[in-house]
Amino acid sequence: MSDLRNPIGSATEKRTLVEEGTTFKGSLSSTCPIFVKGGVEGDIQAPSLTVATSGTVSGKVKAGELKSDGAIAGEFDVEKVQLSGSVKDNTVIKARSLEVKLTATNSKMQVVFGECELEVGDQPSREKAADKQENGKSVPPPAES
């Protein structure tokens, strides 16, 4: 798979590209990876979604992998997330794994999240959730000997 520096990849690798200067509104579904340099607003379904620094994605996204250096907003249901761009207010990200890459701004490292909700990892079972609650209080797991 290609990276953000080489969005097109090899000549034989299929890819859906939304070029810089292009804005797409609606539902976009692809069996190929999607690379966004422009703007997409709506529903997206793909094996992977890459948002370049110049790209914006807003809407409902279902993908195996999300890599974003741009701006994202909406609801994201993905397996693996790599973020180094911005996450706008009222964004929900559900993922099994999350990686956040810090970028230096004025010689300080920072990550900026708007008001959003992150759900990372497997959803706990009801039994595990019940074991961790005692009289309405959270109970730490027992120490291993």
pLDDT at 28 over 50: yes
Residue 137: in which H helix or E strand, if any?
Answer: strand 137-138
Give CA–CA dist 62/13, Å, rounded. 21
Query: Tens digit of pLDDT for each residue in 42-71?
Result: 999 999 999 999 999 999 999 999 999 999
Residues 78-89: pLDDT tens digits?
A: 999 999 888 888
106 DSSP β-pair partners: none
For Cα atoms 61, 69, 60, give the angle at the middle one, nearest 5 degrees: 10
Q: Is the pLDDT of residue 137 over 70?
A: no
Structure tokens at 39: 């703007």
Burial class (CB in 10 A: 0-12, 13-18, 19+), 53: middle
Query: Could you tell me if 118 and 112 are in contact, meaning their C-beta atoms sit under 8 angstroms apart?
Result: no
